[in-house]
Chains A and B, each alone.
Chain A
Amino acid sequence: MQFQIEHGPAFAWLRVQLGAGERITAEAGAMVRQSPTLEMDTRLNAPRSTGVFGKIWGFMVAMARKMFGGETPFLNDFHGATGGEVVLAPSLSGSVVHRRLGGGSTMFVQTGSYLASSGNVDMRIRWGGLRSFFGGEGLVLLECFGDGDLFMNSYGGVTEVPIDGAFVVDTGHIVAFEGSLDFKVRSIGGLKSFLFSGEGLVCEFQGRGTVFIQSRNMDSLVSWLSPMLGS
């Protein structure tokens, strides 16, 4: 399999050339164009080696993801007997980032940031901290593991920040982070800041590892647009 990330950083897409029998899994709705030689299979987002109950659980988890992450619960697998090319793109403006997984490493990916994966990459949903009583963002993550390629998308540009110590990120701006980091979800300051700062929740990272941050977020966009909306 070969791939190119083109048109970044503002409107990046992922172009993949699949060899005979190779496959790539992508979030539903991501296909831009494809060779007619490729087939598309649709399945539920559940770890592959699960039985019936596992699949039902996977469906419920995927529905929960849909409520919190805005993602549909389905994935598409592209493959073909003679191979072919498929181009995948996310819904929002922004970048696409590639990460090679293997050797037991994990990436925690914000649910809306998963675009595609290949090889033996698998995932499960994780809750990264309580949803606050006042509403707010919480943190719903996909833990991605296995051997293979992982492709993530961002809203806005992506900045990779290597951490050695402590670092704080607004939860809406997290694309992904390495599993080696400890994290804790909290409010940005005291009670007054929590209620009025407009910042929502933040995630404090500790340890060593890389965080990928995106430079735009949906909540800020909605706040910016809301006063302009008619009824």
Chain B
Amino acid sequence: MRYDVLDAPDFGLLRITLERAGERIVAESGAMVAMDAKIKTETSMRGGVLAAAKRKVLGGESLFQNTFIAEADQQRLFLAPAPEGDLRALQLAAGQQFFLQSGAYVAHVGEELKLDTQWGGVRSFFGGLGFFMLKLTGPGTVFYASYGAVHPVAVSGNYICDTGHIVGFGSELTYTIQKFGGYKGLFFSGEGLVCNFSGQGQLLLQTRNPASLVGFLNPYRRVQSRS
């Protein structure tokens, strides 16, 4: 399997070439842009019915995933995420753990890669926004997307960021979540939570915040008429 990312970082588009019949990749539902005709699509529930249902209640993640399987050699598949921004690959070694914001997941390769939504810190990051953190355990390759560009930070000591800008971070970092200086904004932004990271490790930020986009768009929605 080969891959490359087109139009990064503006509008990352993942182009996968499944070189031999039988090669496969799992992707978030809705990510398929285009593909050669000899690819079969299988839709399945991710991780079992109960886990999937719990995820649906938390929001932000669909119940289903699609597995694309090549039925001939040299089949191309184009995948794209929903938000405007970059798309990158993260290689995880066996046992390596990484926390990824749920909306950032696009696809993965590697039967042994574990995606876990059942762990302690799941909900606290994003308030009522509908995102949560996925815990990834390698080995495998994960393709993830950002809203805006990906800004990597090599944390050494402490670093503070708005939670809406978190794409992911290595499990070697510790964190605390707090309200931003007691200020409660008048804007629709998920309660203005910030995350204070400490330790030594990798933090991935995105340069745009989905909550800000939602706040911007809100006045442009139609108003429901009372009946």
Contact = CB atoms under 8 A, between A and B. Distances in A.
B61 to A, nearest CB: 9
B186 interface: no
A221 B214 CA distance: 11
Contact of B64 (A197, A225, A230): A197
B130 A198 contact: no
Contacts of A213: 33-34, 78
B218 A225 contact: no
A147 interface: no
Interface string B54-82: 00000110111010000000000010111
Contacts of B66: 193, 197-199
B11 A156 contact: yes
A189 B33 contact: no
B211 interface: yes
Interface stretch (B36-44, B91-99, B167-175): B36-44
Contact of B33 (A165, A173, A204, A228): A173
A176 B62 CA distance: 29
A227 B60 contact: yes
A179 interface: no
Nearest to A227: B130
A196 B42 CA distance: 10
A220 B30 contact: yes
Interface residues of A, number: 40
A190 to B, nearest CB: 9
Contact of B210 (A170, A219, A225): A225
A199 B30 contact: yes
Given A168-B36, A216-B82, A157 B64 contact: no
Interface string A183-205: 00000110011001111001010
Contacts of A9: 7, 10-11
Contacts of B7: 9, 156-157, 159, 215
Main secondary structure of the interface of A (DSSP, over half): mixed
A189 B83 CA distance: 25
Contacts of A229: 214, 218, 221
B11 A220 contact: no
Interface residues of B, number: 45
B43 to A, nearest CB: 4
Contacts of A189: 40-43
A156 B32 contact: no
B177 interface: no
A170 B33 contact: yes
Contacts of A230: 188, 218
Contacts of B84: 10, 93, 156, 216
Contacts of A220: 30-31, 80-82
Contacts of B214: 225, 228-229
Contacts of B213: 225
B103 interface: yes
A203 to B, nearest CB: 9
A166 B214 CA distance: 39
Contact of B83 (A173, A188, A224): A224
Interface string A158-170: 0101000111111
22 contacts: A9-B7, A10-B10, A10-B11, A157-B11, A161-B34, A169-B34, A173-B33, A173-B34, A189-B42, A193-B41, A198-B28, A199-B30, A199-B41, A213-B34, A213-B78, A215-B7, A215-B33, A216-B84, A219-B30, A224-B210, A227-B129, A228-B130
Interface of B: 6-7, 10-13, 28-37, 39-43, 59-60, 62-64, 66, 78, 80-84, 103, 129-131, 188, 210-211, 213-214, 217-218, 221
Given A156-B11, A170-B34, A225-B213, 7 more contacts: A166-B36, A168-B34, A188-B41, A193-B43, A204-B37, A216-B80, A229-B214
